[in-house]
Amino acid sequence: MEEIQGGQDMQDKKLGSLIDIAIEREEEAYGFYMGLYARIEDESVKDTLKFLAGQEQKHKEFLVNYRSGQLGPDSLRLTDVVDYKIAEYLEEPDIKKDMESKDVYLVAAHRELLSYNFYKALADLHPNGEAKEMLLKMANEEMKHKEKVEYLYGNTAFPQTAGG
């Protein structure tokens, strides 16, 4: 019985340290988006960056509450996401003051792809179970953000014309 309890304690510590890393990543993402927000003049882009920063804060809150046992693994749900794969095919632009809207969205898409890859890689290291499910759901959350900013990129880089 002690051996089983010891193994569970080790798993709990491992999951706790993974969640701590994930919380740090969400804090970094929030700082990244707010830093970018401070460099941009376009109000609609600023609104999007503020939204993304808010989403990262919500992820952090989820992780903190999950770690403390206030939320179960079913608190997040997997949703279908369209992966336009724009970030995979276009190079990330340099961040500079007064970037074009499309470039801000492309930078954000690259950031969300990195976050997705982070959570997905962590999930792949775990056997089926609560930790893996939670990490896959966090990866899905990041992919939803990527979908949003790639959609905005497409509409900004290739606006609809009167001719279709």
Domains and CATH numbers, the chain: 2-157 (1.20.1260.10)
**Mean pLDDT, to the nearest integer, of 41-48?**
94
List the single range of 12-21, 33-42, 76-85, 134-143 with lowest mean pLDDT. Answer: 12-21
Residue 6 confidence (pLDDT)? 52
Q: Give the model's confidence band at 14: pLDDT under 50 very low, under 70 low, under 90 confident, else very high.
A: confident
Between 110 and 75, the more confident residue is 110
List the single range of 3-7, 88-92, 125-129 with lowest mean pLDDT. Answer: 3-7
**Mean pLDDT, to the nearest integer, of 64-84?**
84
Q: Is 68 helix (H, G, I), strand (E, B) or coil?
A: coil
Total Cβ atoms within 10 A of residue 18 = 20
Quote the CA–CA distance of 107 and 103 in Å, as a whole number.
6
Contact 83, 113 (CB under 8 A): no
Cα separation values, 34 from 4, 13, 27, 54, 55, Å: 45, 32, 11, 10, 12
* Alpha-helix residue ranges (DSSP H) falling in the chain: 2-39, 43-67, 86-89, 101-124, 130-157
Q: Which residues contact 63 (CB under 8 A, 6 or more apart)?
A: 19, 22, 23, 26, 138
Identity of the amino acid at 1: M
Q: Which residues contact 111 (CB under 8 A, 6 or more apart)?
A: 29, 32, 33
Mean pLDDT taken over the chain: 88
Using the CB atoms, write b or e for 64-83: b if 16+ within 10 Å. Answer: eebbeeebeeeebeeeebee
Q: Which residues contact 29 (CB under 8 A, 6 or more apart)?
A: 52, 53, 56, 59, 111, 115
Question: What tens digit of pLDDT does each residue of 105-148 get?
Answer: 999 999 999 999 999 999 998 889 888 888 999 999 999 999 99
Please tell me the total number of residues recorded for the chain in this structure.
Answer: 164
Q: Give the model's confidence band at 74: pLDDT under 50 very low, under 70 low, under 90 confident, else very high.
A: confident
